[in-house]
Amino acid sequence: MKRQRLYHALLATTLVGLSSSAMAQGSANAICYNCPPEWADWGTQLRLIEQQTGIRVPQDNKNSGQSLAQLVAEASSPVADVVYYGVTFGIQAQEEGVITPYQPQYWEEIPDGLKDPEGNWFAIHSGTLGFMVNVDALDGAPVPTSWEDLLKPEYRGMVGYLDPASAFVGYVSAVAVNLAMGGDLEDFTPAIDYFNRLAANDPIVPKQTSYARLLSGEIPILLDYDFNAYRARHSDGANVEFAIPEEGSVVVPYVMSLVKDGPNPENGRQVLDFVLSDQGQAVWADAYLRPVRESAISAEARSVFLPESDYARAVTVDYDTMASAQRRFSERYLSEVR
C-alpha cells in the first residue's frame, strides 16, 4: 500500500509538472490516461493531435484498470483530462462518477450501442481478439488455431496474455475463452478452469501492453487484437500471423471519456473531437483497427483483414452485463487461478 501511494503521488507530480512545463512554454496541454504509443498506434495519433490542434498529449502506459483506479484515487483533485479504456471500464467509470458527459463532433455517426446516451463514454474503434503469433519464434511448431492448441506441450512457455484482473484485453481474453468453452457472462467457471489448465503450460502474464515483446520473440504467442497483428506484419515487417480461434472469439469497442473536473476541459474536448474527425479516424483505420465511423476505413486497410468467414466466429456481447461481471471475475481469477 505504501508503494502504491508513493507511485500515485509521484505520477501525479510528474503529470502536473508536464502540464506546468507545457503552459510555461506557451503551448496547450491535455493529459490522457492510457494512451500508450505502441498500442493501436497512439504514437501517430498523439503527434497528429499536437500538429493539428497545438495540444500536447504526453504518452501514458497505464492499462484500463490502472487508469480507472487512478481516476478514482484522484477524484477530489483530478490530474487527467481524458481517458481511453475498454468499454467495461468506461461503464464502471460512469458508475464511479469520475467522468462527465460530452457529445463530441460526429456524435450522430456513432451507433447507439457504442455510446452512452448522455455522452459519458463513446467508442472510437473496435478490435477482434485472437492469437497474435510470431512465426519465427515458434521453433518449428505450427501456428495455433484453437484454444485447445494453446494447451499442447509444444507451446509450453510460449503463450502470453495480459493480466485479466487488470488489463481490459486480458478480461476480453477471459470472456472469449469462457464463451468458447460453453460459459456465459453469469458463469466464468469454464474460463477459470481453462486458465488453470493453461497455467500448467507455463504462460507469460504481463500487466502492460506487450507488442514489443511479441515482435522480439520473447512472447511467441500473445492473446491480442487483430489490429496489432496486422500492424506488426504490414507496418513493422514482422513475420506475424493472426488467427481467430476455431471455437470462437469476441469483438469489443474501446472508448474515451472526458474526465470530471479535469484541469484542461476545453483541451480535453478538442482531443475527443479530433479522434473522431476524418483525420483521427484515419489513423485508426491505417493502424488496421475498425474505426467507429465506418467511412474512415480505406480499401487498402480492409484488404489485409482475414476473410469475413473467419470473422464470423467472433461475436459481440452485452457490454453492460460484461462490465457488471468484471469485478466478480477478477476476484475469482485472483483467488482461484494458480
**Domains of the chain from N-terminus onward:** 2-125+253-302 (3.40.190.10), 127-251+306-336 (3.40.190.10)
Write down the residue that cell numbers 455522452 correspond to.
119
pLDDT at residue 64, as a whole number = 92
Question: Which among 26, 83, 80 is positioned nearest to 55, based on CA atoms?
Answer: 26
DSSP secondary structure letter of residue 188: -
The pLDDT score that the predictor gives to residue 27 is 59
What pairs with residue 126 in β-bridges? 253, 290
| Rounded Cα–Cα distance for residues 116 and 19 (Å) | 29
pLDDT tens digits along 112-167: 889 999 999 999 999 999 999 999 999 999 999 999 999 999 999 999 999 999 88
248 against 18, higher pLDDT:
248
CA distance 83 to 99: 9
Please enumerate in sequence order all residues whose Cβ is within 8 A of that of 111, keeping only pairs 6 or more positions apart, or say none.
292
DSSP-derived secondary structure for 199-253 = HTT--B--SS--HHHHHHTSSSEEEEEHHHHHHHHHTS---EEEE--TT-EEEEE
Phi/psi of residue 245, each to 5°? -55, 145
Q: Burial letters for 190-202: b for 16+ Cβ neighbours within 10 Å, e otherwise?
A: bbbbbbeebeebe
Residue 20 has pLDDT above 70, yes or no: no
Q: What is the pLDDT of residue 209?
A: 75
> In this predicted structure, what is the pLDDT of residue 150?
98
Output the pLDDT for position 8: 44
Provide mean pLDDT across the span 62-87: 96
322 or 299, greater pLDDT: 322
What local confidence, expressed as pLDDT, does residue 130 receive? 98
Let me know how long the chain is. Answer: 338
Amino acid at 22: A
Mean of per-residue pLDDT scores for the chain? 91
Q: State the average pLDDT over residues 72-87.
A: 97
Contacts (Cβ under 8 Å, ≥6 apart) of 323: 87, 88, 89, 91, 92
Closest to 60 (Cα-Cα) out of 86, 90, 78, 38: 38
DSSP state of 144: P
Using a cut of 0.95, tell me whether the model's pTM lies above it.
no
- According to DSSP, the residues that pair with 249 across neighbouring strands are 314
Please give the grid coordinates belonging to residue 332.
475469482
**How many CB atoms are located within 10 Å of the residue 113 CB?**
10
Pairwise CA distance, residues 196 & 184, whole Å? 18
